[in-house]
Amino acid sequence: MPYVMYQKLGKGEQDLTKTDMMLKDFEGNVSPVKGSVCVELTIDSKTLLTTFFVINGKGAYNLLLGRDWILANCCIPFTMHQCLVQWVGDKIEVVPGDSSYIIA
């Protein structure tokens, strides 16, 4: 999660859980993580407690949902169709793509 998005959630430095993790950006540059934050993430009718690493960088996204999140939440990304399919109980939901999150 870019720090700018983190601030839009009304959170500050005191809300971050400190970590010494380093992450690579899309260009291969390594930079330190500012910390992590656990938030409730709602996608369509599903709300899940999700931990994000907060970075001090720019991105064309607000949140980056990785493979671990996708697998843990029984979701299937369809990048060609710009949508996400998720199971909610015995039903399937198709969530249209949105520029506010990117699935990687």
Q: Which residue has the higher pLDDT, 101 or 2?
A: 2
Q: CA 75 to CA 14: how far, in whole Å? A: 32
Decide if 50 contacts 99 (C-beta within 8 A). Answer: no
- Structure confidence at residue 53 as a pLDDT band (50, 70, 90): very high
Q: Which residue has the higher pLDDT, 73 or 80?
A: 73
Q: Is the pLDDT of residue 44 over 90?
A: no
Taking residues 77-89, what's their average pLDDT? 81
Burial of 30 (0-12, 13-18, 19+ CB in 10 A): exposed
